[in-house]
Structure 1
Amino acid sequence: MLRKVDKHSGVPAYVQIVNMIKSEIILGNIQQGSQLPTVRELQAIFDVNINTVLKALEKLKAEGFIEAEQGIGYFVKKDIDVDKKIIEIIKECVRELKSHQIDFYTAMILFEEVWKNEEV
């Protein structure tokens, strides 16, 4: 769900926008080939300066998630298919972390450390 950025989170607004749009693509809420709202609509949704929206869209474009069609708008270029089983595993992990009163930021630190040190 696209929503206003949290201006007090410490995370740059354009990064929050990139992450929200990526999340919507990953969760299948925005499909490959779909047109994103206009830049002005995104500005209103996120409640940010238009340059912040443009910076986020340029980052998504550089990463290959979206493409721009001159005079038409931005479209989802890359679809990320995540197996439903993976989502269920993540949900179970989150429930377990919450049951042990592990906050989001601590969980992310733990996740990052395990990710870096775990061999496939």
Structure 2
Amino acid sequence: MLRKVDKHSGVPAYLQITNMIKSEILLGNLQKGSQLSSIRELQQIFDVNINTVLKALEKLKSEGYIEAEQGVGYFVKKDFDVDKKVIEIIKTCVAKLKDNSIDYYTAILIFEEVWKNE
């Protein structure tokens, strides 16, 4: 879901935009060939400077998620659909974390440590 960036999060706005668009692609909400909204529309959605949007789009382009057609716009380059079973596992995990009153940032720390050690 695309939404305004959180200007108080400490995460650079262009990275927040990159991650939001990347999430939409990974979850299959934006599929191969899908055209992204225009740069001006993205600027309004994210409530940021146009250069911030361009920086995010360039990062997505360099990572292989999107491609640009001059004068036309930006398009999803290929499908990165995540297995639906994986999404369900994550949802179950998040529900258990919340049931145990573990906040988002603590969950991320735990995830990072487990990831490094597996």
Which range, TM-score by smaller chain?
A: over 0.9
Tell me how far 1:29 sits from its aligned partner. Answer: 1.2
- For 2:97, the equivalent position in structure 1 comes to 97
Deviations 1:42-73 (A, max 9, x none): 00000000000000000000000000011110
Q: Which amino acid aligns with 1:41?
A: E
Tell me how far 1:28 sits from its aligned partner. Answer: 1.3
Q: Which runs of 4+ in 1 moved over 3 A?
A: none
Q: Report matched runs for 1:97-116 at 5 Å.
A: 97-116=97-116
Query: Normalization by structure 1: what TM-score?
Result: 0.96
- For 1:14, the equivalent position in structure 2 comes to 14
RMSD of Structure 2 on Structure 1 (CA)? 0.6
Q: Which amino acid aligns with 2:76?
A: V
Q: Distance in 1 between matches of 2:77 and 2:112?
A: 28
- For 1:27, the equivalent position in structure 2 comes to 27
Deviations 1:82-119 (A, max 9, x none): 1111111001100000011100111011101100110x
Q: Which amino acid aligns with 1:98?
A: K
- For 1:2, the equivalent position in structure 2 comes to 2
8 Å contact kept, 2:28–2:82: no
Q: Distance in 2 between matches of 1:92 and 1:66?
A: 30
Q: Distance in 2 between matches of 1:112 and 1:32?
A: 30
Q: Which amino acid aligns with 2:30?
A: I
Unaligned 5+ runs, structure 1: none
Of all paired residues, the percent bearing the same amino acid is 80
8 Å contact kept, 2:40–2:50: yes
- SS of match in other structure, 2:42: helix
Tell me how far 1:78 sits from its aligned partner. Answer: 2.3
88-97 vs 24-33, greater mean Cα deviation: 24-33
- For 2:40, the equivalent position in structure 1 comes to 40
Aligned length: 118
